[in-house]
Amino acid sequence: MTAPEPHNPPLSRRAARLQRERDDERALAADPVTDAAPSQPAEASPDEPREVLSHTVPLPVIADPEPDVTPDSAPAREVVLGAAAPLRSRTPGRRSSTGPTPIRVGARRSAPAPTRRAAKTAELMAPRSAPARHARGRSVARIGVVAGLAVVGSLVLGSAATVTAAVTGGPLFGIAAGRAAEVRETIEPAPTARLSVPLPAPAEAIPAPTVEAAPAALELCAMPAFTAALAAGDDAGAIAAAGGAVAFRTSVAEGTAPCVALDDPARVWVVINKTRPLVPVDHFPGSLATPEGVRSTEGGTLRSDAAAALSTMVGAASSAGVGEIALESGFRSYSTQQATYSSQVSAQGVAEADLSSARPGFSEHQSGLAGDLVACADGCGTLDDLGASIQGQWIVAHSWEFGWITRYEDGYTPITGYTPEPWHLRYIGVDLARAYHEGGWHTLEEFFGLPAAPTYLQ
Rounded to a whole number, what is the largest CA-CA distance in the chain?
194
Question: By C-alpha distance, which of 209, 210, 227 is closest to 218?
Answer: 227
Residue 164's CB is within 10 A of a number of other CB atoms, namely 12
Interatomic CA distance for residues 427 and 271, integer angstroms: 11
Q: Is 421 a catalytic residue?
A: yes
The Cα 261–Cα 268 span in angstroms is 11
Closest CA to 246 of 435, 403, 401: 435
Active-site position among 421, 438, 445, 446: 421
Catalytic residues: 421
